[in-house]
Structure 1
């Protein structure tokens, strides 16, 4: 399975769809083959797979003909607020170097298809982009997008301008490199062995203006729980979780889920038992994970959260949450605030 094949929320697909529409593509064209509609694209809590986002990106690149600088423009759509609780952890970090470490630790909460590696060499900090496993037809676009996203977030958060000392891209130079030079403020090299940026190490040791140890601890804990919830299952159970999470407000029953997975309900039940779980357990896991995320995030009323999770009444949600966690949703929210 590709390393980028992890579950993510729909935010990145929404940003890329908006970019496509800005350039003249229809929403229908950019969503073709993604199994997503406009309503789901507008739900910030909707979860999608890496494969779905990759299909949208192919639609974007092919539909626009992959003009020079498109990946750079795409990366500038991502500010730290797009990363939710991970963005909060980054901005609360003591130094830019520590912020990088946090981002790398919880990389599966980003929308990247590449992987970053950070190395310190003397007075330099080198950020190396690993594009292993990224499909060839969108490799240059995704490398440019992911790296310009990294620079955009740095410029959002840091009190100084993190000037690049050098910049290299492993892919061939586009027909026009003007957008690359303008955005990165350095003339990049192309067709090099690695994609890599060189930065001043001393600048990365300066204290961040919004550093806060308690806020960072709370944000990292939320990141960990969010990742645990997404990674807890594999095999068929993982597919069922993804299906249920994607339709939390109108969660399908086992018969509907089985049909969507091209199985009979009996086969679905048997195969889940082989993986030592049941459909009901997976449904509760999804609801608990999403409930904890909602309660720990931007303020939503208990009634709103209940509706998001498909409960007709808030009382039913409160009783279910008490059964899962031993606490009421209100008590859980207060404990998060105290932390």
Structure 2
């Protein structure tokens, strides 16, 4: 027997609870879900197994088929249907925005025109952007799937629009941790909080200033797939270099090695190096840059002996520090402290 391409396309990580939520939408409309399950190659008996999982490809096939068959992209969550093409319209309405912040605000505003069952909002404070959902009616058995999907739709669109991973620092949910809690880090990343006041997630405010990278043609290509917003993963993070710099400056002791730094960023060490390479920079170059900045600050603002400055910025001795600092600044640490100008070495110099 040949194996199923959908079942073997990736690791089965999507909880069967989300499949059951789509079947519940069929029940609401009095439609038989058998054809949709068959299209996604999901065995009906798996619905009764709380431990069962499906692949992203299977879930995408199921969702796309169900949205069209039921003509409801909300899959029964809301008091009224969101007809097929609704989320495409949301994407298109935000596409002309000058940056991601405006695009998200437009998405939230236009979403309110579609349903008043929930509202999405964007707030910014202390360098952190937060997208939150306010519920205006009881969502019943659809609650978890509705809130999770609504957050992921917007997050997926944001990543797609700027062609970059938008790394989340935290995500919150107004229900207790479900049995399939282990699937949540794969969907959101960052710190996870259950039993919160409302659903939402937070990320670095600087993503909001990034310009959109997509046009109408790219949008049409993206919308050929049923649910690309929930299953596409974006490996590149356009703010990764800045985030690494900040961790090295503020939490240098905890981020002394690539492995430790990757763990703080919720990345694998291999992914950290690869993404930095895609940005055209190395981890060592960032470490040198931060060491130079910290050393210069201490030399300018304190009277600490140069040996202590060397140890404070991660060097084992004054000699290696002085050699590195001369390479960065074109002068010795002592000369820098005295306010000397950089030494220019010409090709004719011995």
In the superposition, the TM-score normalised over structure 2's length comes to 0.39
In the superposition, the TM-score normalised over structure 1's length comes to 0.40
Higher relative helix content: 1
Between 1 and 2, higher relative CO (CA 8 Å, sep ≥ 6) is seen in 1
Q: Which structure would you say has the larger Rg?
A: 2
